[in-house]
Structure formats: structure tokens, C-alpha cells
Amino acid sequence: MFQIRNVSKFFPLNHQYYQYSSHHGNVSIELSLKILQRYGFTESQGLQALNSIESLLRPDTYESIAKTLNSWKRNVYPRKNVDHIGMNENFKQVFYEKESRLLLVDENFIENRIYQLKNLDLIRGQNDLWQTFYQSPAGFFLQDWPEFLRKYYYITFKILPWLNPDNNIKTNQIHPLICYPQSIEQSYQQIKTRFIFAQRTGFRITESKNINLKTLLLISEKDFLQIYSPNCTIEEFEALEKLNSTELGVEDDRLFDDLVKLSPKPSMMKKQTKNENSFMKKTIEEGILLSN
């Protein structure tokens, strides 16, 4: 799985600016662990989460962790859920197994990122929001926003029309990216390479079953080639990847970079609510043109 390296520049802490002694580090972990245990983390779970972000901890980090956990619960928990115990275990798992850095973001960052996602008409309900938080926390909540948009536009306006040539996805249906949220964690080059390859093999979507973002982006190269081009070797596919990184699809790159530049800036999004509908209409219209 591709690891998110382009973390949002609004991420509040950066370990290079905070150099503390081992004593301060131990105190930070000890105090933060007590906070996590108050929220139901076992000692083992808490230490697993904190050890992975030890270099980012400050002596006063523990003071903000409680507020951060409350904010995540308030904003991403499904509204209707009968299995409270199971849901709480899944909630904790996100922090100690998947993305501990989520403990360090502040409330404004959380609320603004959720606002950005909803503004894309990507999140259509609280269950969608929980799905992204649980399955792809780094991709949706820590990834640099322009990089996220670049992938989102490419998948929405290039890949999805190809996967669904009849264009019969209804507005009340779950967006395919919510069904397979890990897709947004792949690198832009990997997303583009796999799509261009599958498209140029002459693969016929209408004659195939179970073809979706998962089989296109989330399976191994071996399984991917078995579906889309059984006679192609991994070496031949890797050669295409190298070509793709230099010249293939450059026109698409420029178009989607332009869409990202046209999108509202994160710090201005809440001030531009009057223009949201017109912006989304413009991007959708351009996306239809790009997919032809």
C-alpha cells in the first residue's frame, strides 16, 4: 500500500522544530498515555499509538489529545449505531494501528477538512464520513489537499466514466471512492498508469463483471495484469510506468493541475459558499469534456 508522504501543510506539528531530551519524551508519553486510557485505550494500545509519533510529541501534547479525540468522535461517528462497543473499538483502532498522527491535529483542522470533503459532493452522509475515517484516515484527513484534489478529479472525471460508460450512477448512490477509499492513498502516477494501461489494452468493460476501483487500483500487479492483460509481463508493465513518469499523459496532468488551481483555497472555502455550486458545476462540465 502506498504510504501518504504529502501531508497537509496545515498539519500542526513537525518534529524537526521540537527537540526534547529523552526525559521530556518519557514524560510526554506517560501523560498522553493516561489521557488515552481515560478514553478506553489499553496500555498496550496507547503505547503502540504514542511510540509511532514519539518524535512529534511535546511536553504539553497531552493537553490537546483529549480535545482532539472528542472532536473526532463528534464529527465522524455514525449518527445511528447500535453496536457502541464495537464502534468504539474500531475508533481506537484507527489511532493505534492505522494513523496515530490523527491524535495531533486540532479541532479547526478536523472541521475544515470535513467541510472540504463535503463541499466536493463526495461525502453524502455520516456513514460515508465514518467509512473514510476508518478505512483511509491518512488519505482523506492528512493528505495534502491539492494532491488529494488532483487524484479525486482524475478518478472522478477520467476513470469513473470509463468504468461506468452508461453513466447511470445516481446522485443518491454512494460515491465509488467511498466504497474503495484506499484508492486515494495510491500515488497519482500509479493511478494514472494503471488506468491508461487498462484503457489501451482494449479491455471491454461491458463484457466483464466485478470491474471497479478495487480491481483497477488496489490489487497486486500480478492480479491486475491477470484481469486486464494476461499476456503482458510485469517487466513490460514496469516499462510503461517509467514512460508514464516522463511523458505519457502529460496533457491530462496539466488539465487536472489547472482544476486544482481553480478550486477554492482551504483557508477561504467557508467564505466562498456563494460560489460553491457554480464551481462544482464548472468542474463537472470540464470533467465530462475530459472523459470524451
Largest CA distance in the chain: 63
Residues 195, 89 share a domain: no
Question: What size, in residues, is the chain?
Answer: 292
Query: Residue 174: its pLDDT value, please?
Result: 87
Q: What is the DSSP string of 82-126?
A: S-HHHHHHHHHHIIIII-GGGGG--HHHHHHHHHHHHHTT---SH
Query: Residue 169: its pLDDT value, please?
Result: 55
Residues 244, 171 share a domain: yes
Residues 91, 35 share a domain: yes
Which of 75, 105, 135 marks a domain boundary?
Answer: 105
Cα separation, 190 vs 241, in Å, equals 8
Answer yes or no: is 210 within a domain: yes
Give pTM, 2 decimals: 0.79
Query: Residue 172: its pLDDT value, please?
Result: 59
Cα separation, 127 vs 269, in Å, equals 23
- The pLDDT tens digits for 105-130 are 999 999 999 999 999 888 988 999 99
Answer yes or no: is 268 within a domain: yes
Residues 267, 154 share a domain: yes
Residues 97, 153 share a domain: no
Residues 219, 167 share a domain: yes
Residues 151, 101 share a domain: no
Nearest to 193 by CA among 232, 166, 135, 146: 232
Cα separation, 86 vs 159, in Å, equals 35
Cα separation, 105 vs 73, in Å, equals 13
Q: What is the DSSP string of 52-87?
A: TTGGG--TTHHHHHHHHHHHHHHHHS-SS-S-HHHH
Answer yes or no: is 1 within a domain: no
- The pLDDT tens digits for 233-280 are 999 888 877 776 665 556 567 666 776 776 766 655 554 444 444 443
Residues 72, 197 share a domain: no
Query: Residue 249: its pLDDT value, please?
Result: 57
Which of 76, 105, 134 marks a domain boundary?
Answer: 105
Answer yes or no: is 3 within a domain: no
pLDDT along the chain (292 residues), means of 10: 54 44 68 96 97 91 94 90 87 97 95 93 90 97 95 94 74 84 95 90 74 94 92 88 65 69 61 41 40 36
Residues 164, 46 share a domain: no
Query: Residue 283: its pLDDT value, please?
Result: 41
Query: Residue 170: its pLDDT value, please?
Result: 57
- What total number of domains does the chain contain? 2
CB 149, CB 263: distance < 8 Å: yes
Which of 51, 79, 105 marks a domain boundary?
Answer: 105
Query: Residue 84: its pLDDT value, please?
Result: 85
Residues 165, 39 share a domain: no
Domain that holds residue 263: 145-291
Residues 275, 149 share a domain: yes
